[in-house]
Structure 1
């Protein structure tokens, strides 16, 4: 095609001053083969191989080419040269027919192999929480593939396979290193092309604790009570903020009048700083200490134990009371003051006279009553002695010189009751005309000693009330006339359950 075009050009005759008529040239179409021409940077393309001319006189076509961007591709005749990577267009024009065709041209960058890589730093010392931007430089500068793969690993042989280097430091896809915890790692940049590597040794250390302050500045703890201690770490961004708590005697104050018990006998402290006083120690001086986890920094406060002594014990009941044989009674008590450090008392059974009186050389109180550590009395048998004195329940406390004491009796249960008429005879019923009053009596069957008190009751107290002495009479609201039977009951007050009932047959027609 170039030869033909050259022949056509040589055959053209130009006469100055006039132009001969050029013969008609039959060109019907020109087009590029394909939608795009691709060429590597620095290479050439013979455009004769990518352009097709159609028509009877195709061999006489006069073609010229125009580059859309001469900085990307240049054209010299039919030779296209790829100048630099990029994209542009190429237009072909046929002079005789003025037909045109355009095609996209893509210049592909020439691949340049990577020959090496280097880092902006090969070692660094970081504190936990620090960040470091590593920059990888690939050689040569115009290498085609500039991809980098970042990784973090332990120095050779320093850790087991189960350990994770990312627990010490991490690295992002852009080379940003973040220090996580104390330790040593190696950060590596590896080129995607050629797998060249460059590494940086990273040493991470903790932000050290420089000071610990304890609140409150000193503490006084009541026995059996607690005080919460709080440790503040300085600086605030220290890596490890945990402390270890401990208590000890104040060495400077000494251990005056203290025998063998260790400090734990008197004080204890939890690992969240809760300080508890367990026993009184009037002559003791203590300290509570907070120590950083690495053991480098500590601080302490002075601690003293305060014992609030019991000044009085009040028993309930405080007067003579009775316990039925075989039954129990729970003693109640209060101590003063209410905030006494040790409100617990010890219990003892005794009697109103000291042992040895009345000809008794010794008394085994367990034969009569027993008491446990909580003050629960169990009645065993009545205490019958020559002096006719009573048993005593005593509450002791080491803070009080004399115990608190209350007398009590163990009594036998009432076995049975019989209601008596006004002549003193047992009856099952009586006739009552409703006029005046009628005195009922009661006969008690029991072994001495026993509780002789009883309680009377009427099943219809509005019609026939009965008083505490067993006296009955019609009530003010009793109907008239009245013909009815009302039951009256008497019950022993010892709780054993003995009782008796009779019928009161009332025939009231006026008096």
Structure 2
């Protein structure tokens, strides 16, 4: 009834789920929403996201946990009736595999930890259908656990499998009460700490190590534990633990205790009441230090009260064991209806010597005075190998235990109906002894009463080697509910084997008895004896020894004769085949067993029986002092290349040495021919020097003289400048006229230099002369100036000439301003004051000045002759500035009083701007032509809409970056202009239009980068989140996008560092094969005031090309060498296949065009109805119908200069699209 109520509770709780999510081992991403179509990728994402009532389904497949990944459920709570559910997707098997996890190696005397899901501080969690496997120690002193749950209550583990763990399978420690925890149909097997962890090897490899505190409840129902190095179930704590229908077998490997069920004391010194209830459990084949089927382990000042009813302990070291040395309160461990049979050391150990005993001992096989005895004959099946096969069989589809015949009572057993009623269901007059009730406790089931075994043709012998005979079982009565049987060999298991369908196969001469046992638990079986003859005696063992007992070869090319001793002595075929099973590169072996050394190391020689038995013997041979010479060297270029087509390009070479086990595989790199064409480093990196061919050689360093070569073709090398001579006209090197000029010429050597352009500069004497980009020197002052012409090819070569300069004009050095009569004030309304300027030196070439009011322009004005006229009370500064360009000035402060204020005229705003602009482009608003009639100084301030990035919010001119819009949208900038008295406002509306919306975005299939700064990895640039980015430090750092399809690219959109206020510099290159790269955008830069998305158009000559790869090379910024890219998108047109221009189905020329455009359709299958010309915003501005027979046509251009798109269409389908550039 409890199971039914529990399942009803589970069903009711599912109605309260809030959300359903999915996780998949392939095709998922943690950026996805977690739907069945777009699942998550990791368990950790599921653990982080799920909330009370949610369900997460894990799809079938294997998650290989990677180093650094976690599976931690920390502080996540469901609620009563709203558990968090982590379930397998129905019908699928999700597996978490830890085989790729290498725990940190502990330092001396320390420990480290590893394992699967870690549950901490998390309550009301339901787990179902998950498998945890392959978490290993790898190093000594590493604690490994498959599942850990600490400080976590109200857990349900259902249909969970944990196996191949380098320590405990499941560790559960709730820390506090109350708690109710269920383990339902859970399997834990093959858990072992096989590397040293403490003083006992295998002593931490429990299947379960689990307990509950006082006031809590834990249930194990239908669980299995097997092949664990320590105990199967190691339970503890002062709470009530119920274990029913559980099997624990084959535990106790290495040096572990090996108890099937270790019950343990409560560790409480006061009497606690019932703490353990065990019913219908099986412990079998447990070994180890203790190897006890059911072990109280109850020692010390503690108390444990248990009820142990109808359990079976078979073929362990010890069947049942009580505790001793008890000094605490009285315990009452009640044992009834239990079987202890054929345990190898003792069936029962009461520890009576230390005060132990069974307090209540009723109707157990060891109870004094009972009339029944347990023996092998009481059970349907006891054979260990067959029993293990049944016990480890796959569970039923509903997760319940498989049907078995092992330890089921046979008909007529004296253990039937000999028990005492303990409240468990039973059939017959009284309960049976042991874990399995004979017969049925369910009405309406008809048991098998007899089974007759027959064979095909009624024969009862096999006379051919490895012959077979099909057996049949006739089950009575014919209406038996379950008529299936299990086939086995009850006698003569070495003479024959039998399949699950009754096919008997001969193994050895003699007699074998086949048994068909009913699967309905009745214990009924039928048998048939088969006589077997003419069987070949197979080899069962082979021992391999070396001559004189040796297993060493210590001489170069030495040999060792091996001998194979075959068992049994009367085996039919005692010949063997010799082979090397491991270390074939270390030794060879002849058909007679003569081993010849090839290389140092270990080789395993194997002698395999030729009789088909598969038996073999092996001997490991240690080989030393061998020298293996190089016999061949193959030289290849990176990616299979044998050419360098980039100036100063490089190519990494690799040398593959054979044999692979050569003693010395190092090589020396050299150039055997073409030393003027290339050079090579000691690591094989070839650097191009000049066009031509070079032959590279890799020579073995072992003295063998073996070498390999590769010839490299080198092209596109730049001839650098080696010398520059500078001359003036007619050899002149002097300027003798004021501000005179001298045109210089640079002669470049050699005459065939690739780039003969130069950059002109003044190396010394910048105050004496200046020079133009074309080499024109202009005199500034008397003296000498050294001019330099520097080669632009990056060679660093330059030439110099010194120019003598004379007869230059004398500049002003000082100006003194005075007023008439020595006054410095005006006290009459509208009065005036004449100023005078004294210029030094007295011989200055130009002594004229320009008069101005530098401060207080609203208080006075000044004439060109220096007459100051008062406008308003206050102070002004009058300035006289030299007109000779020296920028020297003198000033005088004048105080003005008794003025009557006059009216002011408001400033006038005059603004130049484009009314339309495209998203991602930089625009400019220019208000510098605004004016004030009164001559007042103007100030400017701007109100920016929607936080659009701008260069400044003050000043007459601002630049702005158009935001990203999906539809045309108008943004209003507001200019506030003031003369200090009146402010005028002007609204500037600018329409932002989507840029080329007809283009498609290229799909990105792969990303790689030269480097990145964690966590700013390359994939951040395509995640759609401008807040994440790729970053790398240093010049020429790159990132490569691989496009899913070849693409004709029209423009890219780039976003840089969010919030940046600097220019970012970069190049863009394209490639079809990721080997040869074509420059597209060089020395490009972002705007200096924003890192938001910007559009960068490809040159028209590049838009007709198709690329598969794009490379962005970061060149730092105006402030540092950092490179940031937060988003990158590629837009253009995807054609059916990659074509060069002459292969395109449609030719559009000339492009760019100014007067007319010609279109020629060369694809005979393309039939267009009409053509359109559209703007970058997608607006169609021209449309013309086409005659299907016309394959070439021209049309005049009546469009303003700009970028457009020409489209050939058939109905609504675009057959061809091409960017069209108009230049007039």
Q: With structure 1 as the length reference, what TM-score do the two structures score? A: 0.38
Larger radius of gyration: 1
Q: Which has the higher contact order (CA 8 A, sep 6+)?
A: 1
Q: With structure 2 as the length reference, what TM-score do the two structures score? A: 0.19
